[in-house]
A = this chain, B = another copy of it.
Amino acid sequence: MDNDLHGTVALADREMAAASDRKLQLRLWLRLLTCSRMMEAAIRARLRAEFGTTLARFDVLAQLDAARGELSMGELSARLMVTNGNVTGLIAGMEADALVARLPHPTDGRSTLIGLTPGGRALFDRMAPAHEGWIEHMVRRLSPSEMGRLLELLGKLKDSARERDVLSGL
C-alpha cells in the first residue's frame, strides 16, 4: 500500500521536474505516462488486495474471455505483449490453480489451446465488474463529453505514434 502511494507521489514529482521550462510535447508525454502508471498501480493494488491475484493473470482471463474462451499459446502471447517464455510460466501457474486448462487443438494435432475452466470463468466474472468499477471511479471527474473528447484525442495520438513506428522501421 505504502509503495503505491509513494509511487503516485514520485510520479507527480517526476512530471513537475519537467514542467514550465520544457516543451509542450515532452510535458504531454510525461503526463500521459503519469496517468497510465498511476491507474495501473491502483489496479494492481486492488487486484492483489481484493482477489489475491496479479494484473498478468487478470489480463490472461480477460483475453480468453474476449476470445470466447480459447486461444492458442501464440495468440495469447501476442495479445499480452510478453514473450512466449513468460506466458508459458504464467499459464503453468494458472493451470496449477485450475483457472485455465490445456485442450487439444481442433485442427492442428501438434498444438494445444488454452481454455478457461469453470473456476477461471467464475473468477473473471467476479473480477470484471470490480475492475470496471475501479476505472469508472478513477475517471469520474470527467464529464461524458470530456471522456469522448479525450478518447478522440488519444485516438489521434495513437495513429500519430503508430505511423512513426512504421515509417522509421522500428
Contacts and interface: CB of A to CB of B under 8 A. Distances in A.
Interface of A: 1, 3-14, 17-18, 23-29, 31-40, 42, 45-46, 49, 63, 66-67, 78-81, 83, 132, 135-142, 144, 146-151, 153-166, 169-170
7 contacts: A12-B162, A29-B39, A32-B32, A32-B36, A38-B162, A138-B164, A141-B159
A138 B17 CA distance: 22
A158 B81 contact: no
A153 B25 CA distance: 15
A88 to B, nearest CB: 17
Nearest to A15: B158
Contact of A28 (B1, B67, B147, B169): B147
A134 to B, nearest CB: 8
Contacts of A33: 36, 39-40
Contacts of A67: 17
Nearest to A134: B164
Given A28-B151, A141-B159, A142-B156, 12 more contacts: A5-B166, A9-B78, A10-B79, A12-B158, A24-B151, A25-B132, A29-B139, A33-B36, A35-B157, A37-B81, A45-B170, A146-B153
Most buried by B among A23, A83, A142: A142
Nearest to A143: B156
A68 to B, nearest CB: 11
A144 B4 CA distance: 33
Contacts of A35: 32, 36, 154, 157-158, 161
